[in-house]
Amino acid sequence: MCRVEPRIIKETEEIAITPVLENVIEQQGFLLVRLKCSKGRVSNIQVMVDRPGGDITVGECQFISDKLRAVLATVYPEDFDYCLEVSSPGMDRPLVRRSDFARWSGREAKIALSGMINGNKFLRGIILGYRDGNIGIRVSAAHGEQTDIWFHEGMVVSARLVITEGIIKNALHASKKFARKQVRKK
């Protein structure tokens, strides 16, 4: 199996089993976007997955959930209480791979940085893409001026798409189109 492009942005507290779960997800042809585990009386394991180049369905999330439960059953003792949540990235998806910044070029994003650029640790603007280890974003300045900023991928602490009115309209249009197609099939 060909190794999938690695995530450049990861959770600050990855759990020991993250590489094992990521491998199971990749073997099924999907990508791990995010994995978080909160400890408590019942541990909550949140897994966000995506399909390379496309959207993931609820059925596929269930399929991955079943695969991950089988692995977790072999790793953890029977008395380990956990709740496993498998979901899609959603419209405000995190951007975690170099290819995400290319794929979502032209979309608005919020990016948190480890250091300051032009006096800011947080940027919001239009993604310009990814090039030679650098991510580009076009930010609006005072008086409607726009500035293109390029920074090293290692500076990114977190990045996610912004849900805009246009995105919501497109999603509603797509869901109505899908519903009409389903009605015609019957």
- The pLDDT tens digits for 136-166 are 999 997 778 899 999 999 999 999 999 988 7
> What value does the mean pLDDT of the chain take?
87
> Which residues of the chain does CATH 2.30.30.180 include?
98-161
pLDDT of residue 184: 64
Average pLDDT of span 64-91: 87
CATH annotation of 18-87: 3.30.300.70
Name, in order, each residue with C-beta under 8 angstroms of 168's C-beta and a sequence gap of 6 or more.
91
Whether the pLDDT of residue 60 is over 60: the answer is: yes
> Which residues of the chain does CATH 3.30.300.70 include?
18-87
Residue 36: closest CA among 58, 56, 17: 17
Q: Which residue has the higher pLDDT, 16 or 114?
A: 114
Indicate the pTM of the whole model: 0.82
* Beta carbons of 23 and 3 less than 8 angstroms apart: no
Neighbour tally for 4: CB within 10 Å: 17
Neighbour tally for 161: CB within 10 Å: 20
CATH annotation of 98-161: 2.30.30.180
Tokens for 1? 């199996």
pLDDT band at residue 38 using 50, 70 and 90 as cut-offs: confident
> Pairing mode, if any, of strands 43-50 and 82-87?
parallel
Q: What is the C-alpha separation between 140 and 38, in angstroms, rounded?
A: 37
pLDDT band at residue 2 using 50, 70 and 90 as cut-offs: very low
HSE toward the beta carbon, residue 49, CA cutoff 13 A: 31
pLDDT of residue 14: 64
